[in-house]
Structure 1
Amino acid sequence: MAVSLLVYVEIKAQNTHFTTVGSIEFEKTINMYATIKKQINKDNESYMQQAYDQFKKTQPQFKKLKSTLYFSGNKTMFKPDAEENSQNGFFGSAQTTQNNTVLTDLATGTFVDQKKVFEETFLVKDSVRNINWKITDETRDIAGYTCRRANAIVLDSIYVVAFYTDEIAVSGGPESFTGLPGMILGVALPHENITWFATKVNEVTIDPKNLNPPTKGKPVNNKQLRTTLQAALKDWGDYAKESFKALLL
């Protein structure tokens, strides 16, 4: 019986096709009603509640933004849709936009992130974020791939749920989410009301130009960016906390 099982596993492994190059189309979804409602407090409710009620009458609950992740070997490039990237969020909210173009080199453990922060662009170069993932037995189908769930905490307080597939043998993912034994096809930030899910995987040859790192922006590392944001947001009150997390994500 043990020999038969071993033969079955070996045959299954031989017949499994592992993808190492291609592109993935992602859709970021933001629950706008929940996001805006969290911004209402006793200091601003006189006008924010009215703005929120009007928004619910005229706008859909979910805002959707598209992006593409190119991957080849040990490199990935996450690129938001150029047109949607130019859209402003509600009241300029960093949570409701998609302004990061991220080249990740998994071989060297480094990344280059062209990050739009309000009216300024930064070019962040640093080591890939070390995420302490906890892999579970839960699975779900995403874009035709069976994906396994993993959970983590990033930036000390943001709860992350990710779904990855080992059929794509690249340890990448959307934005700066990496570090699982396969490609991340789904990310959910339940308490931030945001998700990224793959809608289509294209197994195609990638133009090398799509894996060139971004070059425009003020050069900084993670620590320098954090210091700059803390100084810029110091007078923003409670709103600063949510913006700070979104801009560092």
Structure 2
Amino acid sequence: MKQVLMFIILLSYSASMHAQKFIGSGTIEFEVKTNLHKSLSSMWGDEEGDWAKQLIASQPQMTVNYYKYNFHNNRSEYKFDRSGDTKKVTPWLSNVNEDDMWYNDYTNKKFVNQKAIDDNYIISGDLKNIEWKLSPNDVTVIAGFNCRKAQTVLFDSVYVFVYYTDEITVNGGPMSLNGLPGMILGVTIPRMYTSWIATQVTLGEPVIKEPTRGKKKTEADMLAILTEVGKSRAKEWKNATKWMNPMIWRTFL
């Protein structure tokens, strides 16, 4: 009887140790959903006339894309994987640049991003020091991991709501989001009409590489480039200012 009891105790201890084994390397698949109709309507509004309404109506209301987030040795890379759309989206309306890539070094708090605008660019600098407000009692399960809620405000007025898990030890997440006590597995940004949700986590030790394809620019350089693009759009669209803000958010997020 004592031997049976000891076996049960050892089995329970082993299960407990397994449950507490935290993850530091692997690959996360993120499903990214955008309400394209609301996104485009917020940028163009009624001022652009019937042609804009007709163009928006010709697009699928929701778009779905999948991204891969590889993490190892406290570094990560996040990039486009594939589209999940059943109806084709007009490329320049999709808000998706398949060449975009985010590389983060969380130990040294540095980033190197590849961005496609009118050309491919490489932007590097310090990771954002994001001030998060935690809601530890607001919990959910994402991809099998227990997650807690947090929120912040970026770009002065853009609210970002996330769920993170401390079962994955890297303090990162999709794009440049970072700084929580664990991995971000869910994101909602209402003003971008977009959500990111982890669909699966695969263990492994992926190779993490910095992006290298593009002209090297600072963030100030990129803002100047976006401003020039905005001026050219202003000649075509009455609501170019509304169009510019989401583009800036997507570039620097």
SS of corresponding position for 1:181: coil
Aligned to 1:103: 103
Can you list the C-alpha shifts for 1:162-220, whole angstroms capped at 9, x where unaligned?
A: 111000000011111111110111111012110111000011232x3xx0101111101
The answer as to whether partners of 2:37 and 2:57 remain within 8 angstroms in 1 is no
1:201 to 1:68, Cα distance in 2 relative to 1, 3 A: same
Q: 1:151: which partner in 2?
A: 151
Please identify runs of 4+ aligned residues in structure 1 that moved more than 3 A: 11-15, 88-91, 93-99
Indicate the SS of the match to 1:198.
strand
Query: Is the 8 Å Cα contact of residues 97 and 116 (structure 2) preserved in structure 1?
Result: no
Tell me the CA shift for residue 222 of structure 1.
Answer: 1.6
2:121 alignment counterpart: 122
1:242 Cα offset (Å): 2.6
Aligned to 2:230: 233
Query: Is the aligned partner of 1:32 residue 2:44?
Result: no
Please show how residues 90-239 of structure 1 align to structure 2 within 5 Å: 90=90, 92-93=92-93, 95-97=95-97, 99-117=99-117, 119-136=118-135, 137-206=137-206, 208=207, 211-235=208-232, 236=234, 237-238=240-241, 239=243
CA–CA distance in 2 between the matches of 1:177 and 1:227? 23
Q: 3-state DSSP class of the match of 1:167?
A: coil
- The answer to whether the 8 A contact 1:95-1:242 is kept is no
Give the Cα–Cα distance (whole angstroms) in 2 for the partners of residues 142 and 67 of structure 1.
Answer: 16
Q: Which runs of 5+ in 2 are unaligned?
A: 1-14, 235-239
Normalised by the length of structure 2, the TM-score is 0.82
Once the 2 structures are TM-superposed, how far is the Cα of residue 158 of structure 1 from its aligned partner?
A: 1.3
Deviations 1:94-132 (A, max 9, x none): 735555311100111001101111x31110110001111
- Measure how far apart 1:46 and its partner are: 2.3
Identity over aligned pairs, percent: 28
Change (3 A) 1:49 1:91: farther
Amino acid at match of 1:78: Y
Equivalent in the alignment of 2:80: 80
**Secondary structure, counterpart of 1:216 in structure 2:** coil
